[in-house]
């Protein structure tokens, strides 16, 4: 039996339960269908086959979930942090135990290659451990004495929060948002993306099995325009942590306006990787390829615009084209596969529409530009050369394995091109000139920048974007800043003068 056949066998065993029961919501600790009984179907992008039916929630289900989160909040907030820490570590333990199942299901549901997803499941566990360890210090504050008062600050959890996640690496991203919310003492209503509901269900069940009290974590499946929208409008939901498209973020801000919702947005990107001629070009090549073609290019931090210096562009692009043509597209459960299918027909149509856009704009399709096979949503990894920064392929987030290469003359032009975008999530700079690296990163408009490196996530550092790429930061203490309220309390230390009116 090949590795692929073995993995398919294991996957089918895991899918049996989903096929028999479908995916239900988890509200107040109970697995329940949508109140209306409505469902929708989730299909695998690999062969378009039906995976299972999923609860299609409406406002009524969201109301019930928000009520459960509200009822559970005081006890969860007041539980000693050391207890919360233990439960979150137990969630991490169970994720590790079921990491293979999570990875296989994630691949089948999203089309992501197993080589990346097995690590993503474990990273989910790490997210829980990281925030579990910080739970005991989440409420810590400062002592800021003044002449007449002892002023102290403390942080308190904001209340029940809504978490809305996208379909790219949905498992890892859900843990990334939910773990700090729970560690801070908030209760959660999670609305996962409709295209990828499998692992969100596994995760919520794991949390329940780990001993999380009923109602602390509620899962509501459904579409953005009804379940998602209601969550953002619900008066008992105090904040919305959202990961998704910039356009949706803007809608959520409007939807949440009447209830003055606090929002945290991790949105789209059109991230530049800038390669100067003095860089280690072999390492730069590896990183350029990894940062756009891993995870099917369905990655917010992907470097989708290559800015390459004229002096080395011909040789660099030649090697790049050869490597891109060698990338292995295949079944996501085959350990040799580097790129699997795109998530869904809708997204496939969007990504492939840029092949025509590139031609129409006069760019060259140096690699790829075609579908692979006639079943499933596979595309060849694609490279556009001869592009300029005003072309559609350089301006819009394609969110697939598609790279647009643009040449530049000098540092000044590279910076202008890099910043000439509505987005500002990440930037990657390759140079061995230290002073240039310092200058360039200072002026680059991005929330996260790596110099001579691909994106290497370190959990204590701030994660987030500027411009249309987001509002707020995750990671380290920044996550707690979002899920908690600062409170100041002043204690008089003596009999200071109080102005006497009407005396
Ligand atoms: P999307 O915005 O279409 O959907 C994301 C989630 O929002 C889904 O759960 C969806 O149901 C929900 N939603 C849609 N409309 C809604 C509404 N009106 N009210 C409330 N919820 C609504 O995004 P997607 O296509 O699932 O994901 C891809 C996008 O996510 C890309 O733009 C990518 O860059 C971005 N992303 C960003 C980061 C980051 O950290 N910056 C990380 C991952 C993905």
User: What mean pLDDT, rounded, does the chain reach?
Assistant: 98
Q: Ligand 1 centre from 165 Cα, in Å?
A: 6
The pLDDT value recorded for residue 163 is 99
Any atom of ligand 1 within 6 Å of the Cβ of 340: no
Any atom of ligand 1 within 6 Å of the Cβ of 166: yes
426 occurs within a structural domain:
yes
At 194-240, the pLDDT tens digits run 999 999 999 999 999 999 999 999 999 999 999 999 999 999 999 99
Smallest CA separation from ligand 1 atom 11, residue: 224
Residue linked to tokens 């999530």: 425
Instruction: Clarify whether residues 276 and 352 are in a common domain.
Output: yes
Atom of ligand 1 nearest to the CA of 231: 20
Smallest CA separation from ligand 1 atom 14, residue: 224
Q: Ligand 1 centre from 178 Cα, in Å?
A: 16
- When pLDDT is averaged across residues 404-409 and rounded to a whole number, the result is 98
Atom of ligand 1 nearest to the CA of 265: 41
The pLDDT value recorded for residue 230 is 98
Q: Ligand 1 centre from 490 Cα, in Å?
A: 42
Q: How confident is the model at residue 259 (pLDDT cuts 50, 70, 90)?
A: very high
Instruction: Clarify whether residues 303 and 242 are in a common domain.
Output: no
Any atom of ligand 1 within 6 Å of the Cβ of 194: yes
The pLDDT value recorded for residue 303 is 98
- Identify the CATH number of the domain in which residue 53 sits: 3.40.605.10
- When pLDDT is averaged across residues 248-266 and rounded to a whole number, the result is 98
Residue whose CB lies within 8 A of the most ligand 1 atoms, among 166, 200, 447, for a mutation test: 166
Nearest to residue 229, comparing CAs of 266, 261, 201, 199? 261
Instruction: Clarify whether residues 276 and 339 are in a common domain.
Output: yes
Instruction: Clarify whether residues 334 and 388 are in a common domain.
Output: yes
At 99-109, the pLDDT tens digits run 999 999 999 99
503 occurs within a structural domain:
no
Instruction: Clarify whether residues 233 and 286 are in a common domain.
Output: no
Above pLDDT 70, what percent of the chain?
100
Instruction: Clarify whether residues 90 and 120 are in a common domain.
Output: yes
The pLDDT value recorded for residue 466 is 98
Last residue of a domain, one of 426, 451, 476: 451
CA distance 407 to 281: 15
Atom of ligand 1 nearest to the CA of 249: 2
CA distance 363 to 269: 21
The pLDDT value recorded for residue 84 is 98
502 occurs within a structural domain:
no
Q: What angle do CA 273, 275, 276 make, to 5 degrees?
A: 150
Task: Enumerate residues 6+ apart whose C-beta is below 8 A from 114.
Answer: 7, 103, 104, 107, 332, 333, 334, 335, 337
Q: How confident is the model at residue 18 (pLDDT cuts 50, 70, 90)?
A: very high
459 occurs within a structural domain:
no
Any atom of ligand 1 within 6 Å of the Cβ of 397: yes
Instruction: Clarify whether residues 82 and 133 are in a common domain.
Output: yes
CA distance 273 to 424: 12
Any atom of ligand 1 within 6 Å of the Cβ of 400: no
Q: Ligand 1 centre from 289 Cα, in Å?
A: 25
Any atom of ligand 1 within 6 Å of the Cβ of 448: no
Residue linked to tokens 């011909």: 314
Q: How confident is the model at residue 153 (pLDDT cuts 50, 70, 90)?
A: very high
Whole-prediction pTM value?
0.98
By residue range, what is the domain housing residue 408? 272-451
Instruction: Clarify whether residues 259 and 136 are in a common domain.
Output: yes
Q: Ligand 1 centre from 248 Cα, in Å?
A: 6
Atom of ligand 1 nearest to the CA of 222: 11
Any atom of ligand 1 within 6 Å of the Cβ of 232: yes
Q: How confident is the model at residue 422 (pLDDT cuts 50, 70, 90)?
A: very high
Q: Ligand 1 centre from 202 Cα, in Å?
A: 20
Instruction: Clarify whether residues 213 and 336 are in a common domain.
Output: no
- When pLDDT is averaged across residues 421-443 and rounded to a whole number, the result is 98
498 occurs within a structural domain:
no
251 occurs within a structural domain:
yes
Instruction: Clarify whether residues 147 and 196 are in a common domain.
Output: yes
- Identify the CATH number of the domain in which residue 366 sits: 3.40.309.10
Element (H, E) at 266: strand 262-266
CA distance 110 to 45: 7
Q: How many CB atoms lie within 10 A of CB 104?
A: 26
Instruction: Clarify whether residues 204 and 307 are in a common domain.
Output: no
Q: Ligand 1 centre from 218 Cα, in Å?
A: 19
Residues catalogued as catalytic: 266
Any atom of ligand 1 within 6 Å of the Cβ of 248: yes
Any atom of ligand 1 within 6 Å of the Cβ of 268: yes
Any atom of ligand 1 within 6 Å of the Cβ of 342: no
Q: Ligand 1 centre from 4 Cα, in Å?
A: 31
Smallest CA separation from ligand 1 atom 39, residue: 266
Last residue of a domain, one of 404, 428, 451: 451
Q: Which residues of 353-362 are buried (b: 16+ CB within 10 A; e: fewer)?
A: ebbebbeebe
At 292-304, the pLDDT tens digits run 999 999 999 999 9
The 8-class DSSP code of residue 230 comes to H
| Total domains present in the chain | 2
Instruction: Clarify whether residues 59 and 145 are in a common domain.
Output: yes
CA distance 240 to 177: 10
292 occurs within a structural domain:
yes
The pLDDT value recorded for residue 151 is 98
The pLDDT value recorded for residue 50 is 98
Q: How confident is the model at residue 248 (pLDDT cuts 50, 70, 90)?
A: very high
Residue whose CB lies within 8 A of the most ligand 1 atoms, among 120, 224, 233, 268, for a mutation test: 224
Q: Ligand 1 centre from 379 Cα, in Å?
A: 22
The pLDDT value recorded for residue 158 is 98
- When pLDDT is averaged across residues 62-81 and rounded to a whole number, the result is 98
Smallest CA separation from ligand 1 atom 8, residue: 193
Task: Encode 3-47 in three state secondary structure.
Answer: HHHHHHHHHHHHHHHHHHHCECEEECCEEECCCCCCEEEEECCCC
Any atom of ligand 1 within 6 Å of the Cβ of 106: no
493 occurs within a structural domain:
no
The pLDDT value recorded for residue 41 is 98
Any atom of ligand 1 within 6 Å of the Cβ of 252: yes
């Amino acid at each position: 039996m090949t590795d692929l056949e073995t993995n398919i066998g294991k996957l089918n065993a895991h899918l049996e339960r989903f096929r028999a029961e479908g995916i239900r919501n988890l509200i107040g600790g109970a697995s329940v269908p949508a109140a209306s009984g409505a469902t929708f179907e989730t299909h695998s992008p690999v062969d378009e086959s039906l995976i299972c039916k999923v609860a299609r929630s409406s406002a009524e289900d969201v109301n019930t979930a928000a009520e459960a989160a509200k009822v559970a909040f005081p006890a969860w907030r007041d539980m000693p942090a050391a207890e919360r820490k233990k439960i979150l570590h137990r969630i991490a333990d169970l994720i590790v135990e079921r990491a293979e199942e999570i990875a296989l299901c994630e691949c089948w549901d999203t089309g992501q290659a197993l080589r990346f997803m097995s690590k993503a499941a474990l990273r989910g566990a790490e997210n829980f451990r990281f925030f579990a360890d910080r739970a005991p210090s989440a409420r810590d504050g400062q002592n800021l004495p003044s002449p007449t008062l002892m002023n102290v600050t403390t942080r308190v959890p904001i209340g029940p929060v809504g978490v809305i996640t996208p379909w790219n690496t949905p498992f890892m991203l859900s843990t990334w948002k939910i773990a700090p919310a729970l560690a801070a003492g908030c209760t959660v209503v999670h609305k996962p993306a409709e295209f990828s509901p499998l692992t969100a269900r596994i995760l919520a069940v794991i949390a329940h099995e780990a001993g999380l009290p009923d109602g602390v974590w509620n899962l509501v499946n459904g579409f953005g325009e009804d379940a998602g929208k209601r969550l953002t409008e619900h008066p008992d939901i105090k904040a919305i942590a959202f990961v998704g498209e910039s356009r949706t973020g803007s809608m959520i801000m409007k939807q949440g306006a009447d209830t003055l919702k606090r929002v945290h947005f991790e949105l789209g990107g059109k991230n530049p990787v800038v390669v100067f001629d003095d860089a280690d070009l072999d390492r730069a090549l590896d990183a350029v390829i990894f940062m756009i073609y891993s995870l099917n290019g369905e990655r917010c931090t992907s470097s989708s615009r290559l800015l390459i210096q004229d002096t080395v562009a011909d040789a660099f692009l030649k090697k790049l084209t050869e490597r891109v043509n060698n990338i292995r597209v295949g079944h996501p459960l085959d350990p040799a596969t580097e790129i699997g299918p795109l998530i869904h027909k809708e997204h496939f149509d969007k990504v492939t529409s840029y092949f025509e856009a590139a031609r129409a704009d006069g760019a060259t399709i140096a690699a790829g530009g075609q579908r692979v096979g006639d079943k499933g949503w596979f595309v060849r990894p694609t490279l556009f050369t001869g592009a300029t920064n005003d072309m559609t392929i350089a301006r819009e987030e394609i969110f697939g394995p598609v790279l647009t290469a643009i040449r530049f003359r000098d540092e000044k032009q590279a910076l202008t091109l890099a910043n000439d975008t509505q987005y500002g999530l990440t930037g990657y700079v390759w140079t061995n000139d230290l002073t240039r690296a310092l200058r360039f990163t200072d002026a680059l408009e991005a929330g996260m920048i790596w110099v001579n490196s691909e994106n290497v996530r370190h959990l204590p550092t701030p994660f987030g974007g500027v411009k249309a790429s987001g509002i707020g930061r995750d990671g380290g203490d920044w996550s707690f800043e979002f899920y908690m309220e600062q409170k100041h309390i002043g204690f008089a230390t003596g009999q200071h003068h109080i102005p006497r009116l009407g005396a």
